[in-house]
Amino acid sequence: MHQIRLRRGRASSLMRRHPWIFSGAVQRVESEPPSGATVRVIDADGRALGHAAYSPSSQIRARMWTFDPAETVDAALLQRRIAAAGQRRSALLASGQTTACRLIASEADGIPGLVVDRYDRVLVCQFLSAGAEYWRETLLDILRDAFPGTVLFERSDSDARVKEGLPSRTGPLHAVEPPDSVTFLEHGLHFRADIRSGHKTGFYLDQRENRLLLGQHAEGAEVLNCFSYTGGFAVHALAGGAAHVTDVDVSADALRLAGEHVRENGFDSGRYEQQESDVFHFLRSCRDARREFDVIVLDPPKFAASSSQVRRASRGYKDINLLAMKLLRPGGLLFTFSCSAHMTEPLFRKIVADAAVDAGREAQVLSQLSQSVDHPVVLHIPESWYLKGYLCRIG
């Protein structure tokens, strides 16, 4: 059997059930396993620690399938885990008011590197690690059996595949191709996911509950939705009775789809406007024009893709939060987020607090926000808690 032996003192993270083995922790690799193959993991004394998927090109040299040395990594194990993941999401979809969710969330569901988002009858799949790629055909067969009547589409075009030494791959996984955009419901509202060329798999499903929360605070409000993408927050704000909503994004294509979302849900276009602009520049222009809002949403893209970028990202987060706080009327609400896994919650909290001090405003936290339940946070995998946020009242 293929096997990797860890350096002395480098098994502690596995003992805490963190699933990643970095290249520096590996003393030697035995029997030259191919990319993605299952390897037995042993410590420096030869004690078996479990089984992992081997990735020779990645800094994460192996990802644990199981911490039980006696458990076999095979199709039956994958089938059990996919079935369990589907069952955990069944309540979310049961009412029919929401028809999209993340079905498989990689390590958080015990299948490292596999992400599957469901948009009604379409499953968009990402194989982001060597192990997921190795089991690709088996995983596809299991998904087809587990979710009959669905059509599968692949979006394995993430930078994560480059780090794993894998080529980009996109396209249909059935003879029947899905449309370019797939219609689905979120809390009874209509949206479309651009599954071929949209961000991630076409939509940000992790903000579902936070969008609903915004709608509950939007009645009569003038709302500014920054980094709006395809307008998910805007639609929920309009549904909640917002007097006016402004979407701001640099992408004309995203804004075009956002406008279609507003129209398809039957909202008055007079209550909605768009600005194709860099958010930093737009916020400064609003400051200079002394423009004010009742509610501002800051949902920026990932500012820190690695730990080395955290300091620079911190400046960006502080800048937009400071500017937003200056634009809010007294008692206004700020929904502010970071989706960077390398940005810890304590650091993000400090950044928002420092922005309030520099803006000369009081910030009271009404709710601490996170990702939707179909994007599980596993306590022994800190990286699984990537979306952090606050709903603040700004005095």
Q: Give catalytic residues, as residue numbers.
A: 339
Using CA atoms, how far residue 136 sits from 59, 111, 114, 128, 367, in Å, is 21, 11, 9, 10, 40
Collect contacts of 193-199 with beta carbons under 8 A, ≥24 apart: 193/100, 193/117, 193/119, 193/124, 194/230, 194/253, 194/257, 195/119, 195/122, 195/124, 195/153, 195/155, 196/153, 196/155, 196/170, 197/253, 198/230, 199/229
Instruction: Compute the CA torsion angle 51, 57, 61, 63 (nearest 10 deg).
Output: -50
Question: Which residues, 6+ apart, have CB-to-CB distance to 37 below 8 Å?
Answer: 2, 53, 54, 134
The candidate with the shortest Cα–Cα distance to 84, out of 139, 128, 132, 146, is: 146
In a 3-state reduction of DSSP, which class is residue 273?
strand
Helix H or strand E segment including 43:
none
The answer to whether 229 and 251 have CB atoms below 8 angstroms apart is yes
Rounded to an integer, what distance in angstroms lies between the CA atom of residue 336 and that of residue 144?
A: 38
The distance of Cα 355 from the centroid of its chain, to the nearest Å, equals: 25
Cα separation, 124 vs 284, whole angstroms: 38
| Contact (CB, 8 A) for 233 and 225 | yes
Which of 308, 346, 301, 302 minimizes the C-alpha distance to 59?
308
**Pairwise CA distance, residues 123 & 127, whole Å:** 13
First to last CA, the chain: 63
d(CA 279, CA 249): 7
DSSP line for 274-307: EEES-HHHHHHHHHHTT--EEEEEE----S-SSG
